[in-house]
Amino acid sequence: MLECDRARRSIVQYIADGEPALPVYASLRAHLGTCASCRAEAERLRAVEGALRVMPVAAPPVGLAPEVMRRVNSLGQPPREEWRLFSWETWVPVVAFAVALLIAMISMPANLLSSMTLYELESTLRALPGQAGGWLSPMESITRNELFWVIWTSLFVTMAGVGFSLSLRNLSREATAWLAEWCDRLTDVTDRAWQRARNAH
């Protein structure tokens, strides 16, 4: 029985692969020589395999392609520069830009912001209750930490890069490809800087 359990585990793949004379199947083949029940299972699997290999393909109806083309022609040009609301191509860059802006805002020295309304927004953010406020408050104390700034800057660059490249995506695929490569390189540089900073610590 234990033998059968072992045989049943590999027999399906063995039959499906066309019963190859591989060493891994040596014990299975030996078992099939002595066990009628597993031999019957092999016979059933062969029947299934044979049937599946000649299963008829469903042919498309004659009018299908013309109908497709009629509908495509009525659609006109593919909507290359369309901004689809709620598609990821729209909201991902928006969110990325928002995060980049938030990072830049929080990073700016307070005296630069003093005359701007942004400052008020920043203080509002800092005054946020619970987790959000708690997350923002320790930043004051670690602003001189080199590692922090490397991560912070690379996060900003990534977010801005994602926002920027995805915004251009709908305008020109070539520009996007070029930008994507450029962003990759930039990420590489920041990555290396981060590694160096981490090793230094």
Partner 1 sequence: MSDQDPLAELVSRCQQGDTVAFAQLVAATQADTYNVAYGVLRNPQEAQDMTQEVYLRAWRALPGFRGESKVQSWLYRVTVNTCLNRRRRLRKDLVLVDAEDALVDVAARGPSVPERVTLKERNRAIWAAVARLPEKYRLVITLFYQQELSYQEIADGLVLPLGTVKAHLNRARKALAEGLRLPEEGEDAGV
How many Å apart are CA 163 and CA 99, to the nearest integer? Answer: 10
Using CB under 8 A, which of 22, 64, 121, 171 touches partner 1?
64
Give whichever of 45 and 186 is closer to partner 1, judged by the CB atom: 45
Nearest-approach distance from CB 50 to Zn ion, in angstroms? 22
Tally Cβ neighbours within 10 Å of residue 15: 19
Nearest-approach distance from CB 165 to partner 1, in angstroms? 13
Q: Is 31 in the site for partner 1 (CB under 8 A)?
A: no
How many Å apart are CA 158 and CA 187, to the nearest integer? Answer: 7
Query: Does residue 126 contact residue 110 with C-beta atoms inside 8 Å?
Result: no
Residue ranges in contact with Zn ion by CB under 5 A: 4, 35, 38
Q: Which stretch binds partner 1 (CB under 8 A): 44-52, 100-108, 157-165, 191-199?
A: 44-52
How many Å apart are CA 2 and CA 132, to the nearest integer? Answer: 59
Q: Is 17 in the site for partner 1 (CB under 8 A)?
A: no
